[in-house]
């Protein structure tokens, strides 16, 4: 690892340490009359982020192993998604192929860097296979709705998330592997920071809730303030990224913030519809994998493709 790698690691540890400290201190101040439920969620998220970063350190040593870690996260997230989505008996075979075949294949293509394949494998082949297989099972009741459920799960949990480890395979001006691992760290850190900034802005200045029926803690002030703050943070971490211009780092950070917001809103809507608070019970009372990665899922493909554009990769 180079000096820059170590510096980025130090920044991450400092950020997480600060967030942990702030969360713990605020929790011990009952007179502040903050939204306690949101605060508990925030503290839980920080705890999970520690574990996530520890796992992500692998990116500096082995891209393949990183792909495998994200693959397992996808698998877990998708089974949480499908578990909470009502399916019918006739969807069984389609679900089997989705979890056992399409999910691992997507990550195998990423690990072998077959961009031409993994960028269309799910949106074309899987998305055409699923309705056909469901139709062959002979149950037409709410057909489109059932197909859409499986497709959305596969798209969000697997296809989108797989673009995060794909960053490690980008051909950026013959950059060293460390630079690509730093790019992945930059991406994940921006997602984490935007989460924290949007929370803080919402708590301090939040007046206009965007959609109270979907998520009562997301406000316009939080979105705008959070995205702007994330952009500034991206600029501050510019040295860690392969981006040549300062504004590029800021812009990419803002993209992550906005897409992360979009992901959190979307997943909240699905959860409200199902009448649940969290996706899984993997760890007692800690929500599921999907609750933690919703922001990353939405941000990853957009971040990946804009980065490709910036560096003019064909």
Partner 1 sequence: MFTELLLTTLARFLSGASVRWIDCQPDTCQRVYFANHTSHLDMILIWSALPHDVRKLTRPVAAKDYWDRGPIRRYMAKTYNALLVDRKEIKVHQSPVDVMLREIGSTDSLIIFPEGGRTAGETVGEFKSGLYYLSKKRPDLELVPVHIDNMNRVLPRGEFLPVPLLSCITFGPPMWLEAGETKNDFLTRARDAVRRLKEVD
Q: Applying CB under 8 A, which part among 53-61, 79-87, 115-123, 302-310 lies near partner 1?
A: 79-87
The answer to the question of residue 281 lying near partner 1 (CB under 8 A) is: yes
Q: Is residue 79 at the binding interface for partner 1, with CB under 8 A as the rule?
A: yes
- Residue 98 CB, nearest distance to partner 1 (Å)? 8
In the complex with partner 1, the residue whose CB is nearer, 88 or 208, is 88
Least distance to partner 1 from the beta carbon of 26, Å?
28
Which x/- pattern, by CB under 8 A, does the window 240-279 give for partner 1? ----------------------------------------
DSSP secondary structure letter of residue 241: S
CB proximity list for 105: less than 8 A, separation 6 or greater: 121
- b/e map 16-44, b = 16+ CB within 10 Å: beebeeebeeeeeeeeeeeeeeebebbbb
User: Does 282 interact with partner 1 (rule: CB under 8 A)?
Assistant: yes
Count residues binding partner 1 (CB under 8 A).
16
Of 82, 111, 190, 237, which lies in the binding site for partner 1, with binding defined by CB under 8 A? 82
Asked if 95 is part of the footprint of partner 1 (rule: CB under 8 A), the reply reads yes
Instruction: Using alpha carbons, list the distances in angstroms from residue 109 to 56, 73, 115, 127, 166.
Output: 20, 16, 7, 17, 10
Contact 63, 177 (CB under 8 A): yes
Q: Scan for tokens 């350190």, then name that residue.
A: 57
Helix (H, G, I), strand (E, B) or coil at 210: strand
Could you tell me the end-to-end alpha-carbon distance of the chain, in angstroms, rounded to an integer?
29
For the CA atoms of 56, 60, 107, 77, what is the dihedral angle to 10 degrees?
0
Dihedral sign from CA coordinates of 176, 177, 178, 183: positive
Closer residue to partner 1 (CB): 99 or 111: 99
Nearer to partner 1, 94 or 183 (CB): 94
Q: Indicate whether 157 belongs to the interface with partner 1 (CB under 8 A).
A: no
Residues with Cβ within 8 Å of 234's Cβ and at least 6 positions away in sequence, in order, are 186, 190, 249, 250, 251, 252, 253, 254, 256
Asked if 292 touches partner 1 (CB under 8 A), the answer is no
Nearer to partner 1 among residue 80 and residue 195 (C-beta): 80
State in angstroms the smallest separation of the CB of 149 from partner 1.
Answer: 13
2 vs 281, beta carbon nearer partner 1: 281
6 contacts partner 1 (rule: CB under 8 A)? no
Q: Which of 2, 18, 40, 83 binds partner 1 (CB under 8 A)?
A: 83
Candidate segments 83-91, 115-123, 238-246, 305-313, binder of partner 1 by CB under 8 A: 83-91
Q: CB of 76: closest distance to partner 1 in angstroms?
A: 8
Comparing CB distances to partner 1, the nearer of 101 and 112 is: 101
Of 89, 141, 207, 314, the one binding partner 1 (CB under 8 A) is: 89
The rounded distance, in Å, linking the Cα atoms of 106 and 121 is 7
Contacts of 242 (CB under 8 A, 6+ apart): 172, 173, 175, 179, 180, 182, 183, 311
CB of 91 to partner 1, least distance (A): 9
Helix, strand or coil, per DSSP, at residue 112: coil
Please choose, from the candidates 105, 103, 111, 35, the residue with its C-alpha nearest in 3D space to the C-alpha of residue 75.
103
- Using CB under 8 A as the binding rule, the residues of this chain from 96 to 155 that contact partner 1 are 96, 99-100
Q: Which residues bind partner 1 (CB under 8 A)?
A: 79-80, 82-83, 87, 89, 92-93, 95-96, 99-100, 280-282, 284
């Amino acid at each position: 690892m180079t000096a820059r790698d170590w510096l980025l690691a130090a920044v991450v540890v400092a950020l997480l340490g600060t967030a942990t400290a702030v969360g713990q201190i605020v929790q011990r101040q009952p007179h502040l009359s903050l939204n306690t439920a949101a605060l508990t969620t925030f503290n839980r998220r920080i705890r999970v982020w520690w574990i996530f970063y520890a796992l992500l350190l692998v990116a500096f040593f082995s891209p393949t192993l990183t792909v495998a870690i994200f693959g397992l996260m996808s698998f877990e997230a998708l089974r949480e998604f499908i578990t909470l989505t009502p399916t019918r008996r006739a969807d069984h075979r389609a679900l089997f192929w989705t979890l056992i075949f399409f999910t691992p294949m997507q990550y195998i293509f990423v690990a072998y860097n077959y961009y031409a394949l993994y960028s269309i494998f799910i949106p074309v082949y899987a998305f055409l296979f699923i309705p056909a297989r469901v139709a062959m099972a002979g149950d037409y009741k709410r057909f489109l709705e059932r197909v859409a459920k499986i497709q959305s799960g596969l798209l969000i949990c697997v296809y989108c998330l797989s673009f995060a480890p794909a960053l490690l395979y980008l051909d950026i001006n013959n950059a060293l592997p460390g630079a690509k691992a730093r790019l992945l760290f930059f991406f994940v850190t921006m997602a984490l920071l935007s989460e924290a900034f949007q929370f803080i802005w919402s708590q301090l200045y939040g007046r206009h809730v965007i959609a109270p029926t979907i998520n009562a803690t997301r406000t316009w002030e939080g979105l705008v303030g959070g995205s702007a703050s994330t952009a500034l943070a991206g600029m501050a971490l510019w040295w860690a990224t392969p981006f040549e211009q300062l504004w590029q780092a800021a812009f990419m950070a803002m993209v992550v913030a906005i897409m992360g917001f979009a992901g959190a809103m979307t997943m909240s809507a699905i959860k409200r519809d199902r009448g649940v608070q969290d996706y899984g019970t993997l760890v007692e009372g800690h929500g599921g994998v999907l609750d933690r990665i919703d922001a990353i899922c939405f941000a990853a493909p957009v971040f990946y493709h804009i980065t490709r554009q910036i560096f003019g990769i064909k």
